[in-house]
Structure 1
Amino acid sequence: MANDVQAVAWNGDGLRLIDQTLLPGRLDHLDVRDVDALVDAIQRLAVRGAPAIGVAGAFGVAIAMRQAEREGWDRPALLAAVDRVREARPTAVNLAAGVDRVTPFMAKGPDAVIAEAQALLDEDVRGNRAIGAHGADWLLGRADRPLRVLTHCNTGALATAGWGTALGIVRELHARDRLDVVHADETRPLLQGARLTAWELGHLNVPYYVQADGAAAGTILRGLVDVAIIGADRVAANGDTANKIGSVGVALACADAGIPFVVAAPWSTIDLGTASGDGIPIEERSGDEVLHWGGVRTAPAGARAFNPAFDVTPARLVTALVTETGVMHISAGETPGRR
């Protein structure tokens, strides 16, 4: 699986997306040709992962333009549709960044927007491979032996335009024969780790365990892993990092155990306009995701759910931030806003 898993692709007439809600049981695709379908796919996590939805958002501008041509929308209606794509999920900065990158090309027509969106996709794949190399170099500079890695959520080809960010580092370690095993947190409540990361690791022939989120701290404190590597949906200027709910607990355990807590993300995930994690909007999703599973209610009638999709790890707990440009030592005071 060098790059055969492609979560987002332009098929000439619209977007072809892997429907990640069906994995691992079935690999199926969605063909998206209108804004309603794209916003729905983003919000229900058929396409997910900050880099992947950034690319989807960029192509989404072309989808809106072609729909406007078919249906005779005026300019305000087109711009409103583009805004709907841009705001489909609030926490991941990449979605808005992807839309913003291509909007200057709207005056040149849909084909120009598509070309720029494809350039963004290609850049993401190249950047992910650079993240993998930088991260592996940094880790093996500290301990040149097969490493035991803990991951949280999904950060592979499914979450990006291809290859992966945190999982890209895992792939690079595996390619260098410096990976022992991966502990993949299940990632409640939607089980992205158990469903998606495990699926990708299996295709890569990487040895792994799926573990309950509640096992992560114990795994770390028992000395069963050497490093935790996660992705990010937004990184503030001071290095505070928003990622899938449960990430901050992993970071706290790493700090207590004295092992690195590494964040891997493209530079586009860094939001220099947000000073700290206090300014990062945290998406709250439907309580049904917590109160039900497989269409069956698992909590008592009348129970309410608190379901934030993300939490923010303070910069002081982030050992290193790996981007396509290199490694920053965040807890030591080297932060994006000071570069």
Structure 2
Amino acid sequence: MAHVVTCFVRYRGRVLLVRRSDSVGTFPGRWDGVSGYVEGDPAAAEDDARRELREEVGLGDGEVELVRVGAPLDASTAEGEFTVHPFLFEAETAETTTNEEVAEAEWTDPTTVLEREAVPQLWEAWRRVAPTLPTVREDRTHGSAWIAARALETLRDAAADDDADDWESAARTARKLRDARPNMAAVSNRVNRAIATAERTPESVRERCVTLLRESIDATDAAAANAAERLADSEATTLATLSRSGTVRATVAESDPEAVVVAESRPEREGVGVAEWVASETDARATLTTEAALPTALSELDVDAAVVGADAVLPDGRVVNKTGTTALALAAREAGVPLYAVAARDKVRPAGDDWTADEGEASDAVYDGTESVSVFAPTFEATPADLVDAVVTETGLEDADDVRRIAEEHAENAAWDESGP
């Protein structure tokens, strides 16, 4: 049985599909991921996957990041017996350079596989690397915008499955996704909108997820652009931030500051990766500090503005974000430095939806000794509204009335289910 790799490459929520040319030996004219034979040990099939990406579509190792390796599946076809090794990569660019094995390449929604003449079991291969409920529930690496996008993908794919023969099947998946990350408003808001604004059919839910996924990515970009414009208007050239946030990264890239000060973000220290990104991917000087040293850093390093993301914005204007945000906000207020929270409107929690601090999932990183020491290390906290100079979204700067109105809209969407948000 021949072993082959099938690579799915995702960029901004779309997946690269290729139509096989007449020069290939099997399945000419059919749609596929980027695929090819395993030339060595199947256990090292990732090497073959990366080779095919380079050869067929011109995506080198520096332009793609491996996201997930799926369990192999067997495909019995008229053209032979194959063991398919699925891979999912995230691309940093949509630019491709195809070779003679590719007749056509298209960035599209992966559910279009079900509507095209594709190689056997291509949808099944996608499902083995696609986002799932555990992806949404267990991810501790990415920010809420990224996780919310994976929630929409999970709901979209569930609605597209052959066994999703009624609306209630999609609704059951939506309820699980909605409740998977209670502190991340974008997850529940986007799932609720997909169901509330769709007709009561799986196909309509799928179509709404496709549309909302693209809109949500655009919203993050627009919020970052608005924040960058605000920073330019205030002539801010040195920024301070903490933790990780895709929206803050986009703001930094858009605003092109001279320097960025990043707090390490105890206890998981994900701010270290942010500082490394600033150093490697921007022209700004990167300085890593601690939350405890932030007040001194703001003055000694001449910080002009502080920028944070938000896992949620509460209806009363409080900003829920990584613990340390309130310390940064207080230090910024003392130093006369404005603090902006940058977030898409979908991060505003619905009116009437309560928020409670978590109990500290990373407590072992704070103390792993044997004495009777209790640890208080919540991951998120709510920073008071009066410490935040502005909440910047895709539509601009939102005041208290704007936030309340957005919260009411989200509450209306959440009402699709009698069990509530």
Q: Same fold, TM exceeding 0.5?
A: yes
Name the residue aligned to 1:149: 239
1:269 to 1:48, Cα distance in 2 relative to 1, 3 A:
same
Name the CA distance, whole Å, in 2 between partners of 1:81 and 1:305.
Answer: 35
Give SS of 2:293's match.
Answer: helix
Name the CA distance, whole Å, in 2 between partners of 1:77 and 1:35.
Answer: 21
Counterpart code for 2:262 = A
1:292 to 1:37, Cα distance in 2 relative to 1, 3 A:
farther
Name the residue aligned to 2:348: 270
Bigger-Rg structure (1/2): 2
Give SS of 1:184's match.
Answer: strand
Name the residue aligned to 2:253: 171
CA contact (8 A) 1:272 1:336 kept: no
Name the CA distance, whole Å, in 1 between partners of 2:166 and 2:337.
Answer: 56
The CA RMSD over aligned residues, in Å, is 3.5
Name the residue aligned to 2:364: 291
Q: Give the number of aligned pairs.
A: 296
Give SS of 1:28's match.
Answer: strand
Give SS of 2:351's match.
Answer: coil
Name the CA distance, whole Å, in 2 between partners of 1:266 and 1:301.
Answer: 43
Match of 1:301 among 342, 362, 370: 370
Counterpart code for 1:90 = P
CA contact (8 A) 1:59 1:117 kept: yes
Please list the CA deviations of residues 32-71 of structure 1 after superposition, one character each: whole Å capped at 9, or x if unmatched.
838997232223325632222222212221333356x45x
When you count helix as a share of all residues, which structure comes out higher?
1
Name the residue aligned to 1:18: none
Name the CA distance, whole Å, in 2 between partners of 1:315 and 1:274.
Answer: 17
Name the CA distance, whole Å, in 1 between partners of 2:10 and 2:275.
Answer: 12
Name the CA distance, whole Å, in 2 between partners of 1:46 and 1:128.
Answer: 20
Give SS of 2:302's match.
Answer: coil
Name the CA distance, whole Å, in 2 between partners of 1:43 and 1:226.
Answer: 36
How big is the shift at 1:167?
A: 2.5
Counterpart code for 1:183 = V
What aligned pairs does 1:221-260 form with structure 2 within 5 A after superposition? 221-222=299-300, 224-260=302-338
- Structure 1 residue runs of 5 or longer lacking an equivalent are 14-25, 157-164
For the pair 1:319 / 2:386, whether they are aligned, the reply is no
CA contact (8 A) 1:34 1:63 kept: no
For the pair 1:132 / 2:218, whether they are aligned, the reply is no
Identity of aligned residues (%): 23
Match of 1:61 among 152, 155, 158: 155
- Structure 2 residue runs of 5 or longer lacking an equivalent are 1-8, 18-31, 33-63, 69-87, 89-125, 407-421
Name the CA distance, whole Å, in 2 between partners of 1:130 and 1:62.
Answer: 24
Please list the CA deviations of residues 171-226 of structure 1 after superposition, one character each: whole Å capped at 9, or x if unmatched.
1211xxxx110111211222222124533652234331222232222212445311
What aligned pairs does 1:78-93 form with structure 2 within 5 A after superposition? 79-93=171-185
For the pair 1:108 / 2:201, whether they are aligned, the reply is yes
Higher RCO (C-alpha under 8 Å, 6+ residues apart):
1
CA contact (8 A) 1:7 1:52 kept: no
CA contact (8 A) 1:155 1:167 kept: yes
Name the CA distance, whole Å, in 2 between partners of 1:234 and 1:321.
Answer: 11
Name the residue aligned to 1:28: 66
Give SS of 1:83's match.
Answer: helix
When you count strand as a share of all residues, which structure comes out higher?
2
1:305 to 1:190, Cα distance in 2 relative to 1, 3 A:
same
Match of 2:209 among 106, 117, 122: 117
Name the CA distance, whole Å, in 1 between partners of 2:184 and 2:282.
Answer: 27
CA contact (8 A) 2:309 2:343 kept: yes
CA contact (8 A) 2:308 2:340 kept: yes
